Chain A
Amino acid sequence: QVQLQQWGAGLLRPSETLSLTCAVSGGSFTDYSWSWIRQPPGKGLEWIGEIDQTGSTNYNPSLKSRLTISRDTSKNHLSLKLSSVTAADTAVYYCARNYGYRSIADYWGQGTLVTVSS
């Protein structure tokens, strides 16, 4: 069974860098692309970006200047870094596996709440 386990700092000050890791187990890591998605408290889902099987990335233009998505294929880890955070970046962050050429998010991590507050 595919499992995605996330971790990272849950409380940040404005201007700091958000850093999350997603560990994948129970299935192939390099055969799939992987996404990060976030959800501000009480609001809807926002696609952050993705990394494909070759390591190429696609980012949401609204976050692109601050965003880095990478992977470590030796550890089956996916990572997210978002710099210069503000209160608007407060959200639950999810990693997800993308299945097939339609990039269907079929497995999700448990979510990590990141709060940005001074």
Chain B
Amino acid sequence: GAGVSQSPSNKVTEKGKDVELRCDPISGHTALYWYRQSLGQGLEFLIYFQGNSAPDKSGLPSDRFSAERTGGSVSTLTIQRTQQEDSAVYLCASSFASGSYNEQFFGPGTRLTVL
């Protein structure tokens, strides 16, 4: 079966523009996670969805960041008024259910470059 897919794979944008990053999780996976990986840094947790709801938004770095998930499937991460420090690889992962006993399957990521 298909794995987690993300689009676009690369995105170059100008400072101040808005961007949307998309994640298609594995079919049937109820939990979905967004992470950010900056150069030389580990994965930084951004947000977690269980179904369509986001019980944990604690990792979103500012109010310029938002995410939604519709139909318990596709998720979109939106960054408004992008800044250069937003440049990173944005990773999406899904799992059958939430919690540490369920393996997360990661997508290939979207590399965002803000000029």
A and B part of one assembly: no
Interface residues of B (CB under 8 A from A): none
**What residues of chain A have their CB less than 8 Å away from a CB belonging to chain B?**
none
